[in-house]
């Protein structure tokens, strides 16, 4: 929003690893990196679909690959990041969205409760879909 001329006024040099120097910045970076693991899990889901499409033996091979200890470790790490994404995204929702009911602002705690309740409902539904 400022002209390039104004932008050439004094600016402190920003170190390349600026995000490693404060805990809060590092947490932020990890939160952003969680998106990589989210994309990784989407890839795993697509491999699952591909395996089911290829037949029962492919599906069995997929399940065996997932049971490999290295894969389990990877998936646990991915789960940690995925939960970090979910929790931070949920907690930031009341600040980002002001919900109004009948002209009055809904308090943040209610919005947060709503978000987590929704998460619970979706979790139960999907678990039932897959396992039953």
> Within the chain, where are the H helices?
4-7, 23-54, 56-67, 69-96, 108-131
Report the SS3 class of residue 101. Answer: strand
Letters for 44-73 (x = contact with other proteins by CB under 8 A, - = none) are: xxx-xxx-xx--x--xx--x--xxx--xx-
Radius of gyration of the chain (CA): 22
Instruction: State the residues that interact with other proteins by CB under 8 A.
Output: 1-4, 6-7, 9, 11-12, 14, 16, 18-19, 24-25, 28-29, 32-33, 35-36, 38-39, 41-46, 48-50, 52-53, 56, 59-60, 63, 66-68, 71-72, 75-76, 78-79, 82-83, 85-86, 89-90, 92, 95-98, 103-105, 118-119, 122-123, 126-127, 129-131
């Amino acid at each position: 929003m400022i002209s390039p001329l104004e932008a050439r006024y004094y600016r402190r040099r920003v170190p390349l690893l600026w995000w490693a120097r404060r805990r809060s910045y590092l947490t932020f970076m990890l939160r952003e990196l969680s998106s990589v693991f989210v994309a990784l899990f989407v890839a795993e889901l697509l491999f699952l679909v591909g395996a089911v499409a290829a037949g029962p033996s492919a599906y069995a091979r997929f399940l065996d690959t997932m049971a490999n200890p290295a894969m389990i470790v990877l998936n646990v790490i991915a789960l940690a990041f995925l939960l970090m994404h979910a929790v931070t995204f949920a907690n930031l929702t009341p600040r980002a969205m002001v919900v109004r009911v009948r002209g009055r602002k809904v308090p943040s705690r209610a919005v947060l409760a709503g978000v987590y309740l929704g998460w619970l409902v979706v979790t139960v539904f999907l678990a039932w879909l897959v396992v039953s």
